Amino acid sequence: MTAIYKREVKSFLTSMTGCVFIALLLAVAGIYFSAYHLQGLYTQFSYTLQGMLFIFLIAVPILSMRVLAEERKTRTDQLLLTSPVSVPGIVLGKYLALATIFLIPVCILMAYPLILTQFGTVSLAMAYTSLLGFLLLGCSFLSIGLFLSSVTESQVIAAVLTFVVLLICYLSQGIASFFPETASASFFTLLLMAAVLSLVLYYMTRHTILFFVIFAASEGILILMYLLDSSLYEGLIQNLFGVLDITAPFYEFASGLLDLSGIVYYLSVIFVFLFLTVQSIQKRRWS
């Protein structure tokens, strides 16, 4: 795992990918820092971090798209799979390399609140709590990007998929407002989502029987639940998109609260997507 980690970090730092990622984050941070704090005279550093959230939609796909997709395209993944390193070790090594590259601009950002203290009173506790939330949010997004890079051999497709998924997470509350809170609206939306997820599963496994079993079971359960008690579906879509809103816990950190539930939430997201990445690689290993 250590060898893979070192190789990936070196690869990022000696190529344009890592440099562009770091430069992009710091450039946007500099713009918001100047606008909010040096010109607007705001003392809460969290304003800069909140303004930077949108940049994850661009920066994360750029950084994560090649991590596993390129290995799969060039068939060098076969060398990794036959190496003494376990699949979880491979995934963890690559993920830690991504997190290390992200940690570089975060460490630089740690100096910004100290700069503000030279011009007035700044709550360092609130600033660094916000940075902790920013770090956890970025690491969660990187785990999503790593997983989506494992399901395709095309870097472009991996980048587009990551952008779309992160955009849905970023706009989840706004998307939820477009759906009525009626039971019928949630029911038909969930039927469509179950069909789409079944198709995604078929794309990943190419197993026709498994596709029909999952599709029939999920659709049947949804229909049965609706017939038994349709009230269960009222507002269900809004609740579902609320779970998908990965940015929501960050705002608790931005307000200066060390939210333990938010830490658990982000660590759970990271674990789930790293687990899915391992399963995606294992599927190709035995197919």
Tens of pLDDT along 144-196? 999 988 888 788 888 888 998 898 888 887 777 777 778 888 888 888 888 88
Query: In whole angstroms, what separates CA 74 from the centre of its chain?
Result: 25
pLDDT band of residue 67 (cuts 50, 70, 90) is confident
Rounded to an integer, what distance in angstroms lies between the CA atom of residue 272 and that of residue 218? Answer: 21
Is 165 in contact with 144 (CB distance < 8 Å)?
yes
Query: In whole angstroms, what separates CA 234 from the centre of its chain?
Result: 28
Highest mean pLDDT among 57-71, 109-123, 129-143, 158-172: 129-143
Q: Average the pLDDT over 70-98 and give the result.
A: 74
pTM as predicted: 0.85
pLDDT band of residue 205 (cuts 50, 70, 90) is low
Whether 79 has a pLDDT exceeding 80, the answer reads no
pLDDT band of residue 8 (cuts 50, 70, 90) is confident
